[in-house]
Amino acid sequence: MAAVGAYELLIILLIFLLLFGSRKLPELAKSVGEAQSEYEVGRKKRPSGGEGEEVEVSEEVALIEAAKKLGIETEGKSTEEIAKEVLEAKE
């Protein structure tokens, strides 16, 4: 896939300027930035399954959830110990 060069970028910006005008471009850029930010936040969160609440999922949380599904006790163990037991249980 070809990258967009400086000349192509200039043409795209001129088209946007003609379509939206100089006063609307900052608003459009702000909207795009906010949408991207919301997308990133939404991508890092998942529904918890209770009352529409959302929780951020980390690798550690996912590992602990997997261990509990396999019936592995996680209290007082490091993530490395839990990961080792999960791998052993899957074999």
User: Rounded mean pLDDT of 5-20?
Assistant: 88
Say yes or no: 48 and 23 in one domain: yes
| Other Cβ atoms closer than 10 A to 62 | 11
Position 65 pLDDT exceeds 70: yes
Residue with more model confidence, 49 or 36: 36
Say yes or no: 50 and 39 in one domain: yes
Say yes or no: 64 and 52 in one domain: no
- pLDDT for 61: 81
Say yes or no: 73 and 84 in one domain: yes
Position 4 pLDDT exceeds 60: yes
**Phi, then psi, of 58 in degrees rounded to 5:** -115, 170
User: Rounded mean pLDDT of 74-80?
Assistant: 86
Say yes or no: 43 and 33 in one domain: yes
**Phi, then psi, of 74 in degrees rounded to 5:** -110, -10
Number of domains in the chain: 2
**Side chain identity at 10, as an amino acid letter?**
L
Say yes or no: 5 and 40 in one domain: yes
Of 27, 47, 46, 23, residue with least CA distance to 35:
27
Find out whether 55 and 48 touch, Cβ atoms under 8 Å. Answer: yes
Position 16 pLDDT exceeds 80: yes
Say yes or no: 42 and 63 in one domain: no
Say yes or no: 50 and 86 in one domain: no
Say yes or no: 1 and 43 in one domain: yes
User: Rounded mean pLDDT of 59-87?
Assistant: 85
- pLDDT for 11: 92
Interior angle at CA 85, CA 79 and CA 88, nearest 5: 140
Q: Which domain does 65 fall in, by range?
A: 58-91
